[in-house]
Structure 1
Amino acid sequence: MSVLLTYLLFILAGIAAGGSYSMLKFNKFAAGVLLAIAVLAAVGGVLRLM
């Protein structure tokens, strides 16, 4: 279960980073929120690996 959660965090980080890049043209605030979610998910995934 722990491995699945780690994978899901990294997948969420990737999707949020892609969505942030796509949203950058239209709404800078939403892009910033998605980028923050991506960073938090990536950090959470890295911490789960330790």
Structure 2
Amino acid sequence: MSTDVTVILLLALAGFLIGGAYSTWKTSRPLSIALAVCAVLAAAGAIAWGFF
């Protein structure tokens, strides 16, 4: 798998997780925060994978 595909997949995962965090904010805040943290990690991984 090329680097570009990996970066795009990680960014898509981050977007999916942000959407989940947004939709669960009113019902389950701890789950929403956990999803947001995972989204930040996925986005950071995509950025790091793209540069290094």
Residue matched to 1:25? 26
User: What is the TM-score with the length of structure 2 in the denominator?
Assistant: 0.90
Give the gaps of 5 or more residues in structure 1.
none
Extract structure 1 runs of 4+ deviating beyond 3 A: none
CA distance in 2, matches of 1:7, 1:38: 14
CA distance in 1, matches of 2:7, 2:27: 31
Query: How far off is 1:4 after superposition?
Result: 1.7
CA offsets per residue over residues 1-50 of structure 1, 9 Å max, x none?
12221111000000000110000010000000100010000000000110
Give the gaps of 5 or more residues in structure 2.
none
The CA RMSD over aligned residues, in Å, is: 0.7
User: What is the TM-score with the length of structure 1 in the denominator?
Assistant: 0.93
